[in-house]
Amino acid sequence: MRVPLIAGNWKMFKTKAEAKAFAEEFKELYKDTDIQAAICAPFTDLELLVEEFKGTGIMVGAQNVHFADEGAYTGEISVSMLEEIGVDLCVIGHSERRQYFAETDETCNLKLKKLFEGSIRPILCVGESLEQRDAGQAEAIVKGQIEADLEGIAADDIRKLIVAYEPIWAIGTGRTATPEQAEEMCAVIRECITALYDESVADDVIIQYGGSVKPANATEIMNQPEIDGALVGGASLKAADFIEIVNF
């Protein structure tokens, strides 16, 4: 059974002081909620958030990790460093990392494999650009990403996978995919995982939609049968907005 997961992706927002203020407000608002929620935050906020959210059920995620155990990789963070802090989740392959930081399907694949050696669950982001959608390539692009990113990963690990379908044209633009467009592509992702593994494995994978999710559109997106959650950027920065999405 899939449990819906609403995750915030703070991107490069919030100092520790700002993260603390958010956490204090959000955990109060979250008290009567039974929907699973998470915040994926900058590295510098993670330890504080784990401490703040202890006992609340709110999960904490990183936004990136390196695929090596350790080594001369200036500026990078390893899986064991995240595990030591008590992080639950890690975003992999966000389009901003693919676009600005040379993340490729190959590095996503290595990072997923490294995470699956431990206990941190990945949120793998996939999605097409506007040019690709207009050229009728959305499905082929997303399928290609899923196939390459999951190559060589065992079925039992895939059951713990979270996928976020994030069309690049809907990120930070205010232009949300229609619930039908989001549903259609989340179904494509589940069919692709069924073809690579089997239906029982694909049934366990949480598939989120991300891209301009707001309190005003969360319900219609979450009502789609193939959509099990949301990855929320801008609207996760204010506790009052984020709780409305969590309580869709």
Active site residue 94: yes
DSSP symbols for 140-182:
HHHHHHHHHHTTT--HHHHTT-EEEE--GGGSSSS-PPPHHHH
Phi-psi region of 208 (alpha: psi -120 to 50; beta: other; left: phi over 0): beta
Catalytic one of 52, 94, 128, 183: 94
Query: What is the total count of residues that contact ligand 13P (CB under 6 A)?
Result: 14
Catalytic one of 103, 128, 166, 183: 166
234 near ligand 13P (CB under 6 A): yes
Choice between 87 and 231, CB closer to ligand 13P: 231
Q: Which of 109, 145, 212, 217 binds ligand 13P (CB under 6 A)?
A: 212
Choice between 158 and 171, CB closer to ligand 13P: 171
* Helix, strand, coil % over all residues of the chain, rounded to 5: 50, 15, 35
93 near ligand 13P (CB under 6 A): no
Active site residue 166: yes
Choice between 115 and 245, CB closer to ligand 13P: 245
Tokens of 149: 């990113």
Tokens of 135: 């050229």
**C-alpha to C-alpha distance for 208 and 4, rounded to whole angstroms:** 9
**Which residues pair with residue 36 across a beta bridge?**
5
CB of 210 to ligand 13P, least distance (A): 4
- The footprint of ligand 13P (CB under 6 A) covers 9, 94, 166, 171-172, 210-213, 231-235
Active site amino acids: 94, 166
